[in-house]
Structure 1
Amino acid sequence: MKRYAQFCPVAKAAQVFCERWTPLILRELGSGVTRFSELDRGVPLMSRSMLSRRLQALESEGIIERRPNAAGRGWTYHLTSAGREFLPIVDALGAWGQRWSRRQLAEGEVDIELLLWAMERDVRTDAFGDRRTVVQLDFVDQPSSRRRWWFVNDPGDVQLCLQEPGFDVDLYLSVRLRDLVHIWRGDLPLGNALESHRLEAVGPLPLRRALRDWLARQVPAGEAGVQSGRRL
């Protein structure tokens, strides 16, 4: 961890928080992620060895704590009180990014795996009511091996499936990857996307009406002033 060699509290806090990848790790932990494999999915360009070292550094600083995995071998990772006090800063960064970073996304920033992971983690599973609802997502601009995905929504739970899940599909969505990223970020309003046919939704009217709620994850407290604000 690089040090500023200053006693200033801003410098001391920046040593911990401003290290590369740290805000993204805190973002994932703040959203409820606890397992190493889940953190690895949330920061896909970070090597596993770097992630391991960064978690050790954050633990030594008292920002996170490890706990034995109750479900089996290994560890789970959790924010301490000190770590949770960083979350409003993470939310404020998201609010700033939502308000001011409106430039066109670069090719490398349009990441299908990161988008799908964020959706699996954050869509509103209660949007479709108390019955299982299967949403098929078709990326029309992607190769066949990465084109079709399924979200199985059960009350209180959603699962991303890489192959047909064996249930009837209730709602079909067709969209370009870049357009769905903009919808998820809040840059492209859902109504505009549907009206312009940048997003096609086929299914019963009640499910199409519920699509807005399904995609509208809870807005973090630090983003309360930014309508439709999201953290990927």
Structure 2
Amino acid sequence: MLSFLPRRLLQLIPTLFLVSVLIFGLQQLLPGDPALVMAGEEKDPEVIEQIRKQYRLDQPLPMQYVYWIGGVLQGDLGESMRIRQPVSQLIAEKLPVTLQLATMAMTFALLIGIPAGVLSAVKKGTAWDVGANVFALWGLSTPNFWLGIMMIFLFSVQLGWLPASGYVSPFEDLGQSLAATVMPAFVLGNAIAAVLMRHMRSAMLQAMSADYVRTARAKGLHERVVVLRHALRN
């Protein structure tokens, strides 16, 4: 294991290099002059030339790549061309919101997908199984943007239970923060829950037909004990 990791890391270096070249090349293919965009309404040639020198846009492409990748390795991701703020600062400001949404989405997915998959496998062929499979099909086929619009229409416009927009930090008001993020978190976790349900159902069906499960049943163990302690654990 200790010798495997260094080899994998060494093999990763060429891949990361090619990805960085691809990203840099795609940036160069974008239409328009970045200096003109950053200059805005200021069309003074001296100002535009100063911007080119400041951001090294007057250098050859190989040198631009060297400066760019050097900045990336040092954590300098440049500035946003639209609002002229450091990209690393913008990421740091939005990262807590992203982590909160991701955590809530995964929580929804785990709380819904795993129990639904287990129930579908245990109740195979019943209405519970059909309902769980319909839920999984719905979760995989429903576009997130449509589900989000429908939830806003129902819970914000019609019922007025949840805010349609805005964000409040959980450190300021936990209740308002959860109310503002519960709908987007559910939308994000919906498809993940469907995938988890299908995977859990398949794994549980395979485990339920294993020899150790049949042995546990032959010993007279309660079905709940067989499912939770033997099938689900494996």
Structure 2 length-normalised TM: 0.21
Q: Which has the larger share of strand?
A: 1
Q: Which has the larger share of helix?
A: 2
Larger Rg: 2
User: Which has the higher relative contact order, 1 or 2, with Cα contacts under 8 A spaced 6 or more apart?
Assistant: 2
Structure 1 length-normalised TM: 0.21
